[in-house]
Each structure stands twice: as C-alpha cells, then as structure tokens.
Structure 1
Amino acid sequence: MRRTITKFGSLAAVSMFALALAQPAQAVQAAGATGTTAASSSAFFEFTDGTDTFVFKLTDSAKIQQARNILSGVETENVGVMGKVVKTPAWYNSPWKYQIAPNSVSFFGMAMEVCDASISYVDTHLNEVGGALLPGSTWCPWQSKLTREVTAP
C-alpha cells in the first residue's frame, strides 16, 4: 500500500510539473495564432547611478508600463533597476561594454549589497562579473534612478 501511495504521489508531482511547463507554451502558441506576442513591443529607458547614465531595453509590456509608472511618479516603492549583466555591448548603450538582459530586468525597493556596484565599476571590472563581483551576474545598483524613456537610439 505504501509503495502505491508513493508511486501515485510521484505521478501526481510529475503531472503537475508538466502542466506548469505546458501553460506558458500554450499561451505563446495562442498569442502567435493572433499574430501578437507579449514581447512584440520594446522600449528603451535610461537610469543614472548619480554619476553615469545607462540605457537598457525592455520587451515585456508589463515591465514597460511599470517603468513608465516609475517615471510618472505613480510607482514610488520599487524604483531601482535590477537585471542580469550580459558581457557584450549593446548598440543602444554606448560607451559601456555590457548590457542588461531585457528579459531579466525588474524593479526593486531594497536589495542585497552583493549585487550593488556603480555603472563604471562594472564596466572596469567586467571580467570579474559572475564571480566575486556580482555573483550570478545579478546587478542591482542601489543608487539607480530612472531618468527618462529614450526613443530608439
């Protein structure tokens, strides 16, 4: 009896996992059938760390709206910029040698110290990102403040 319950529990867990994975795929297929996707639009935003400025790209419509709410003053709690550092330059973010992965961007009110660094410090120490500097490549400059939406540079 115990073995049957364990097998049933395992089967249920695998089924729930498969269902959880299938739903996002079905949503993408449904969106594709209408010719639109949640990531079909993009917008560019600039933030400052008090010294330098950095431009990042957003492709998620909810995140784009959240950034616009921050700029308009509607959102006042989660206003810092956080994301995964990609060690390649982006055409819209000169002169920096890195970018933030658009799908990783989020906004925060408080974050751990381990992900805090200035824009220029990350650029100067880019080879250390993902190791001792910014473990997991997660960057959350505490002094980040959105300054404006940028038209496609």
Structure 2
Amino acid sequence: MKTASLLLLMTVVLFSACKNDIDNDPVCNVQAGTNMRFFEFEHVASGKTFVAWTNQDGLLAVVDQQLSLPLEQRTMHINGPIIRLSASCGDLNKGWSWIHKPNAWTLADASIELCDGSPQYVEDHLDEYVDVVGAYCPWSSRLKAEISSPF
C-alpha cells in the first residue's frame, strides 16, 4: 500500500510539472499599444502579403510618405526582427506563423542580402530567420496599404 501511494504521488508530481504551460510556446500575446496603426506589405515577386504595425511617430512619417505615392513608386521595403506566432494566433499575419516584431521594424532603401527572401521561404526556414539571421528584409516588398486591426 505504501508503494502504491508513493507511486501515485510521484505520478501526480510528474504530471503537474509537465502541465501545458504556454509561456515557452510562441503564443499569441502580441500586444497592440495605443495609437497603433496597421499595414499590409506585399512581396511583389511572389504576390504574397503580410502585416506589421507600429505607433512610432518617426516611422509613421516615413510610412505616410510612402503611402502618398502611387503603389508602383513605393520603393522602400520593411526590415526588422520577426517573432514566432503559435497556431492560436489564427490568421493574425495572413496565415504565416511569424510576424515583424511590433515597433521594431523600419522601412529601408537597402538591406543586406542575408535577410532577404519570400514570405514562404521565411516560413520554411523560420528558425534560421529568428535565431540566426535576426531579421527579415524582403527586398521586393513594398507597403501596400493601411489596414484595420488584424486582431
């Protein structure tokens, strides 16, 4: 009886320690602060789109300048770190399991080739982009439109 009780206690402790704690998962806890604006970017070469958002005044001035141009004349591309999203995020970023880290991206005229790629390539090599490269800067991307919140 003592052995059975000890075994039961050990099992309870083991399963309690192995609870499904989502803190280690890429959970959908992406926050949208106050005065946040949301944007859709198009990867011209593939036709795929993705979203990013910011409330940084300096960046918003550059974004607004790009949006004032006809689509074909928007030459700046997004550049910044990306983070993983879990399946619980649903369609937060057009079905991709990553997103540019809010308020950590910029618009650039030029970036290093290492962070270039299509959205699908990033999806297929996400660990490399998040853990090694540290950024995603698709050269053939452009700001497509301001959108309502993706939440």
State the TM-score, normalized to the length of structure 2.
0.65
SS at match of 1:69: helix
Q: Is the 8 A contact 1:41 1:61 kept in 2?
A: no
- Residue 101 of structure 2 is matched in structure 1 by 101
1:82 Cα deviation (Å)?
0.7
- Residue 147 of structure 1 is matched in structure 2 by 144
Between the aligned partners of 1:62 and 1:151, the Cα distance in structure 2 is: 20
Between the aligned partners of 1:44 and 1:98, the Cα distance in structure 2 is: 16
2:38 corresponds to 1:41: no
- Residue 66 of structure 2 is matched in structure 1 by 70
- Residue 78 of structure 2 is matched in structure 1 by 81
1:131 Cα deviation (Å)?
4.7
State the TM-score, normalized to the length of structure 1.
0.64
1:103 Cα deviation (Å)?
1.9
1:128 Cα deviation (Å)?
2.2
Moved over 4 A (4+): none
Between the aligned partners of 2:38 and 2:83, the Cα distance in structure 1 is: 16
SS at match of 1:128: helix
Between the aligned partners of 1:94 and 1:73, the Cα distance in structure 2 is: 24
Structure 2 letter corresponding to 1:79:
M
Q: CA offsets per residue over residues 38-89 of structure 1, 9 Å max, x none? A: x631010011112200011112132223212101129x78611111010125
Number of equivalences: 111
Over the matched positions of the two proteins, sequence identity in percent amounts to: 27
Indicate the structure whose relative CO is greater, using CA pairs within 8 Å and at least 6 residues apart. 2
1:104 Cα deviation (Å)?
1.2
Q: Is the 8 A contact 2:74 2:143 kept in 1?
A: no
Q: 1:61 to 1:79 in 2, by over 3 A?
A: same
Structure 1 letter corresponding to 2:99:
Q
Structure 2 letter corresponding to 1:119:
P
Q: 1:40 to 1:78 in 2, by over 3 A?
A: farther
